[in-house]
Amino acid sequence: MATLDFPDPPLCDSGVVLQPWTEGDVDAVVNAAADPAIVRWSHLPNPFDHAGVWRWFHAMAPDRAAGAALKMKIAGADEDRLLGAIALMRFDWETRSAELGYWLAAFARGRGVATRAIGLLTSWALAEHRLRRIDAIPDLDNDASRRVLERCGFVFEHELLDRAPPAGLYSLHAGRVPRASDLRGGPHS
């Protein structure tokens, strides 16, 4: 697979826009990543300091060039304020599948941000890259993330008890994508 290009124009709706990361985002990522919920539920290093964020940013271009991952910032549609992060990674071009990951800053939770961002990215990826399946693997105890995924059309497949902590495999299959009007978001999204 060739380079994973950023969507052009950027994916957006009335509430969020998915954008490439910039140097100006480093402080906001450091601050957001210190949140106990992000520490608990994400796979970011802890602590995630400035040097760590720079390493994370610099790894993104080679991952995109290899067709392995596309990582973007979730920002407010009317302001360039960091709301969270979203990524498609672990692409398997033979099976036309990828894995979804995301996190939200504390102040962005419960406003439909995750639902909107996931809907935008998964609809685009299924159409643009003809993916057949997108998986997400939240911890079993992460009820909020599990509800968001279900709201976005992901279906619980099975538990992954060999992981620490145990996780659940959720999948979104091509042809099962909710309409954009159904992805308005809701509490805890």
Walk along the chain (189 residues) and give the pLDDT tens digit of each residue: 678 999 999 999 999 999 999 999 999 999 999 999 998 888 888 778 999 999 999 999 999 999 999 999 999 998 889 999 999 999 999 999 999 999 999 999 999 999 999 999 999 999 999 999 999 999 888 999 999 999 999 999 888 877 777 888 899 998 765 555 455 444 444
CA distances from 31 to 23, 39, 73, 101 (A): 14, 12, 14, 19
| Sequence letter at residue 136 | A
Residue 186's pLDDT is what? 46
Residue 80's pLDDT is what? 80
HSE-up (13 A, CA, CB side) for residue 110: 2
C-alpha to C-alpha distance for 13 and 42, rounded to whole angstroms:
25
Domains annotated on the chain, with CATH: 12-182 (3.40.630.30)
Residue 174's pLDDT is what? 86
3-state secondary structure of 116: helix
Please state the pTM of the whole predicted model: 0.89
Residue 23's pLDDT is what? 92
Residue 167's pLDDT is what? 83
User: Is 186 in contact with 179 (CB distance < 8 Å)?
Assistant: no
- What letter would DSSP give residue 70? E
Q: Which residues of 128-148 are buried (b: 16+ CB within 10 A; e: fewer)?
A: ebebbbbbbbbbeebebbbbb
